Chains A and B, each alone.
Chain A
Amino acid sequence: MVTHGALTVYAKIKPGMVEQLRLKLYEIHTPPNDIETNPIVPFKSITTIHFARFVILEEAKDLKGNTISPSLVLSTNYDKPLNKHIEELAQIAGAGLEEIFNYCVGFERGDDLAAFIKKHKMSCAAFYKGTPYRSVPRILREAELREDIANYIDKQVKSDKSFNAHTLRNKIVEYVNSEKRYAWICNKENPTFLWKVWFLISKIFCVLTITPVAVLAAICGIIPIRIKERQDSSEKNVLEEEKILKLVNEEDKIVQNQLTHLVDIKPGWFRLITLKFVLFIINLLAIYKFNKGELGSIPSIHFARWVIIDNGRRLLFFSNFDGSWENYLGDFVDIAAVGLTGVWSNTVDFPKTKFLIFEGATDEQKFKTWTRAHQIPTQVWYSAYKLLSVQNINNNSAIREGLTGAMSDKEIKDWLKRF
């Protein structure tokens, strides 16, 4: 069984080096290079990476007017364990990563790359995964398997008109079993029974301890929050056309898209604590509730993470999702407004909220404008399976599971619908 991790490496860029670093990153995906095979970070060869990105956080001023110097963030969604992932990074892309981190404070050529990565690793405040327990090789294998069976069905249906659901499944199972290259289907890649029991116990423990705390926090927090909300100045989000163009020019090139979003957290300890608490709850929900491919009914998110950076001054959000920005943001507004408002109402310029979680994101135009205003360009972005949606990946696994064991007639009928 494989679980997913979110690695966030945050490093300050050496003074005056931003532009050179930008050029280096540009080189990674610009012809004659391409993102998958380029000699700097040949992503396709790194088998533990689902999605990866490099982002430059430009020099900025915090709310007090202090300068935040520019930094580089490397993010990966990887197959655990972390050590093995970092080892693979160093082994396959060591030279390229050294070149890149050489532009960062605290790293000089020849330094220990793995140690640097570990030292600059930030923990996420919340992490959501849409395809749990699926390693990259597993996702690719299962996609191939599904396509092959689908072709087999096409042929079978043409040659024999008299089949029924039962005989068809038997034929498919027989076919797959006869192919040596599919020997892996019997491998156990899902959580074991023992693991499930442990998971259930921890879930119950969590619900029992967190619920009263959350209720108490809500009761204590509600009035100060309302007071603060009413004092919030109205939002002033201006869209810079040039930046928006930069963003959209990189969108809609493959089945998935990415979003990098960076915004100042409202001043004061109260907002920071509220934010941390909401993200803590979201993280638990992501672990215990939204663990079957949907984040609050949104079926299109592969990975999403929130990271609080710069000593609680800024909130960084990364996500990888299927389809367009418009669709993604629309889902946010239409289906998940409460959760998102709960998080981002603690950041500046967010559309007006009520009681932390209401209104806010439901103001569709303002919410979309706010999101674009704080979205930042991602210099390098990689997807290990650019033609697969979350729904595809999870459906492929269900197809694979249906190849072993006994099934009732109803189960067979439902299973065949998956093609």
Chain B
Amino acid sequence: MVSNIEFKDIQGLIVRGYNELPASCFLLLNITDVVKARQWLRIISEEITDGISKPTQKAVQVAFTYAGIKKLGMGESSLRSFAREFKEGMTADHRKRVLGDLGESNIAKWQWGGPANEEVHIMLMLYYSLEKSLEDDCAIQVSKFNGVQLIKRLDSNLSTLQKRKEHFGFLDGISQPLIKGFSKQGDPRFMVEPGEFILGYGNEYHKLPDSPWVSGAENQSDLLPLLQDGGNNYDFGKNGSYMVFRQISQDVLKFWKFMDDATNEGGSDEEKRVKLASKMMGRWPSGAPLVKCPERDDPAFAEDNSFEFYHADRDGLKCPFGSHVRRSNPRNSKGPTPEESDLINKRHKILRRGRPYGTYIESFDPVEIAAHSDLLKDRGLHFICFNTSISRQFEFIQDTWINNSKFQGLYNDPDPISGNPLGRCKSETGSFTIQAEPVRERIKDVPAFTKVIGGAYFFMPGINAVKYLASIR
């Protein structure tokens, strides 16, 4: 199949996760001088890695917040054409209930992106094969800054990344949507339209996703294509994508201590502990899905993603309804029929590109973890995902599936891994129900093991659109 997707204009991170480039850092920037910042951006735009190259040494990407694009000088009417979520930003007051940014995750406590922090305009994302080149090159990049100022540098960590583990000890980055027109193809039933992740292409409703545009009068360059709606506006969004970035801190000790307390009947038992944690995750530490091996971990299934819930596990006896993997992708189990569920499910997909940060404590034992010299350092996930409709994709997953205590007929069960029920149910803790026969087991007072400590909605434009921003006068 010849693909009509313009990979040459799409930023590479949307196309691939750069596993070969494990050393990375994300630079949060604030524009101090617009004219200089545009000049700097023009230089950077030549360095951006596109979606065709398969870099083995280095990759560079750039994304902007709404405030950033505004600052760069895009006109009023054009600015209005961005999605409402993006314009309002992640920290808009009403959004905290949707995203669960309350309590420990309160935006007032954030380290960046919150109301108390400096305004983020640009994120420069750098990826390298070696840690040494990261250090050297990052310093060069910073020295070249002109008209922009570094607010914060976010590093991701190699030790977890090379094992592809997140900090609770589970294999991550297994399940991704398969996108039509991309090189990796699979069962056509599960192939998702590219317009769910990249603007300018048809989405799962067979419509073009709403795309930000600039008016003909404003567009002085020939960098942007005409918008496909018959008018005289130019498609700024083409080949771009909305990027959600959330820094989620993980309390590894609290997590394994809780698992230990909940399973400790006359003695600490690692097998039971890991099993409970895996029930909450929906996969075992190796990555093996619970649906495939409900009783114990089996590394033979580590990368297995060919499972469904409706036929194999309708009652949640293998993989609980409330587990992270089942609720962040219910596959065919949401109804009305399994076929319709598969179809509807494709409208709530995100392309995950997150990376862990902080040093890895490789242990499932709370005593060992407590004694670890690195315990007090912060660790977690730089959660990153791409989508063309933040409200229908990322926010929907976070709110309707992850935070929702009522998911699939449950009563008081938010996602134990990344949910926060404070928004609607006003409770700090939830329960976790493990469906079983003759009757379920219910674990009460499950606290939050993660908290959000920073974040923002970004737009990652196509490469020509970045050049357009640099060309604004």
Contact A323 B404 (CB under 8 A): yes
B136 to chain A, nearest CB (A): 45
Residues of B within 8 A of A392 (CB): 406, 409, 411
Residues of A within 8 A of B391 (CB): 326
Contact of A416 among B209, B404, B439 (CB under 8 A): B439
Contact count A vs B, C-beta below 8 Å: 99
B442 in contact (CB, < 8 A): yes
A327 in contact (CB, < 8 A): yes
Contact A255 B440 (CB under 8 A): no
Interface residues of A in 241-268 (CB under 8 A from B): 241, 244-245, 248-249, 251-255
Contact A253 B425 (CB under 8 A): no
Contact A365 B98 (CB under 8 A): no
Residues of A within 8 A of B210 (CB): 365
Cα distance A357–B405 in the bound complex, in angstroms: 35
Contact of B439 among A165, A254, A322, A326 (CB under 8 A): A165
Known: A417-B315, A417-B435. A323 touches B94 (CB 8 A): no
Who on chain B is nearest to A365 by CB? B210
Say whether chain B's binding surface is mostly helix, strand, loop, or mixed.
loop
A236 to chain B, nearest CB (A): 14
Cα distance A416–B423 in the bound complex, in angstroms: 30
Cα distance A254–B84 in the bound complex, in angstroms: 23
Interface residues of A in 380-419 (CB under 8 A from B): 387, 389, 391-392, 395, 413, 416-417, 419
Residues of B within 8 A of A365 (CB): 205, 207, 209-210
Residues of B within 8 A of A241 (CB): 84
Contact A165 B437 (CB under 8 A): yes
Contact B424 A395 (CB under 8 A): no
Who on chain B is nearest to A323 by CB? B400
B30 to chain A, nearest CB (A): 25
Contact A168 B423 (CB under 8 A): no
A324 in contact (CB, < 8 A): yes
Scan A290-331; emit 1 where CB is below 8 A from any B CB, else 0: 000000010100000000000000000000001110110010
Cα distance A333–B207 in the bound complex, in angstroms: 13
A74 in contact (CB, < 8 A): no
Contact A334 B437 (CB under 8 A): no
Residues of B within 8 A of A417 (CB): 315, 435, 440
Residues of A within 8 A of B369 (CB): none
Contact B392 A154 (CB under 8 A): no
B66 to chain A, nearest CB (A): 13
A76 in contact (CB, < 8 A): no
Contact A150 B335 (CB under 8 A): no
B297 in contact (CB, < 8 A): no
Contact B335 A153 (CB under 8 A): no
Cα distance A335–B439 in the bound complex, in angstroms: 32
Contact A362 B440 (CB under 8 A): no
Contact of A322 among B315, B392, B406 (CB under 8 A): B406
Contact A391 B406 (CB under 8 A): yes
Cα distance A365–B336 in the bound complex, in angstroms: 22
A163 in contact (CB, < 8 A): yes
Known: A248-B94, A323-B404, A413-B438. A255 touches B424 (CB 8 A): yes
Residues of A within 8 A of B234 (CB): none
Interface residues of B in 391-438 (CB under 8 A from A): 391-392, 395-396, 399-400, 404-406, 409, 411, 423-425, 435, 437-438
Scan A135-161; emit 1 where CB is below 8 A from any B CB, else 0: 000000000000000100110010000
Cα distance A245–B399 in the bound complex, in angstroms: 18
Residues of B within 8 A of A165 (CB): 437-439
Known: A165-B437, A326-B395, A395-B409. A255 touches B209 (CB 8 A): no
Contact A326 B392 (CB under 8 A): yes
Most buried by A among B94, B406, B439, B444: B439
B304 in contact (CB, < 8 A): no
Contact A163 B409 (CB under 8 A): no
Contact B94 A157 (CB under 8 A): no
A363 in contact (CB, < 8 A): yes
Cα distance A383–B396 in the bound complex, in angstroms: 23
A164 in contact (CB, < 8 A): yes
Cα distance A149–B441 in the bound complex, in angstroms: 13
A364 in contact (CB, < 8 A): yes
Known: A154-B442, A365-B207, A391-B409. A253 touches B392 (CB 8 A): no
Scan A341-385; emit 1 where CB is below 8 A from any B CB, else 0: 000000000000000000000111100000000000000000000
Cα distance A363–B210 in the bound complex, in angstroms: 12
Known: A253-B97, A362-B205. A326 touches B438 (CB 8 A): no
A60 to chain B, nearest CB (A): 24
Contact A252 B400 (CB under 8 A): no
B415 to chain A, nearest CB (A): 15
Contact A326 B399 (CB under 8 A): yes
A31 to chain B, nearest CB (A): 16
Contact B400 A387 (CB under 8 A): no
Contact B444 A154 (CB under 8 A): yes
Residues of B within 8 A of A391 (CB): 406, 409
Cα distance A299–B334 in the bound complex, in angstroms: 11
Most buried by B among A324, A335, A391, A416: A324
B159 to chain A, nearest CB (A): 38
B344 in contact (CB, < 8 A): yes
Most buried by A among B93, B405, B424: B424
B70 in contact (CB, < 8 A): no
Contact B205 A364 (CB under 8 A): yes
Residues of B within 8 A of A334 (CB): 340, 343-344, 347
Contact B94 A249 (CB under 8 A): yes
Contact A324 B98 (CB under 8 A): yes
Who on chain A is nearest to B438 by CB? A165
Contact of B392 among A244, A330, A416 (CB under 8 A): A330
Who on chain A is nearest to B443 by CB? A154
Residues of A within 8 A of B205 (CB): 333, 362-365
Contact B94 A330 (CB under 8 A): no
Contact A326 B396 (CB under 8 A): yes
Cα distance A244–B92 in the bound complex, in angstroms: 13
Known: A392-B406, A417-B315. A364 touches B207 (CB 8 A): yes
Contact B315 A327 (CB under 8 A): no
Residues of A within 8 A of B400 (CB): 323-324, 326-327
Contact of A150 among B396, B435, B442 (CB under 8 A): B442
Scan B191-213; emit 1 where CB is below 8 A from any A CB, else 0: 00000000000000101011000
Residues of A within 8 A of B98 (CB): 252, 324
Residues of A within 8 A of B405 (CB): 255
Who on chain A is nearest to B408 by CB? A391
Interface residues of B in 311-350 (CB under 8 A from A): 315, 335-336, 340, 343-344, 347
Q: Which residues of B contact A (CB under 8 A)?
A: 84, 93-94, 97-98, 205, 207, 209-210, 315, 335-336, 340, 343-344, 347, 391-392, 395-396, 399-400, 404-406, 409, 411, 423-425, 435, 437-442, 444
Given contacts A157-B441, A417-B440, A419-B440, 12 further A-B contacts (CB under 8 A): A165-B437, A165-B439, A168-B439, A251-B97, A252-B97, A327-B399, A330-B396, A363-B205, A364-B392, A365-B205, A365-B210, A389-B409
* 9 closest residue pairs by CB, A with B: A165-B438, A297-B336, A252-B97, A389-B406, A391-B409, A327-B400, A364-B205, A248-B94, A416-B439
Q: Which residues of A contact B (CB under 8 A)?
A: 150, 153-154, 157, 163-165, 168, 239, 241, 244-245, 248-249, 251-255, 297, 299, 322-324, 326-327, 330, 333-335, 362-365, 387, 389, 391-392, 395, 413, 416-417, 419
A-B contact pairs, 8 of them (CB 8 A): A168-B438, A249-B93, A252-B98, A326-B395, A326-B399, A327-B396, A334-B347, A417-B315
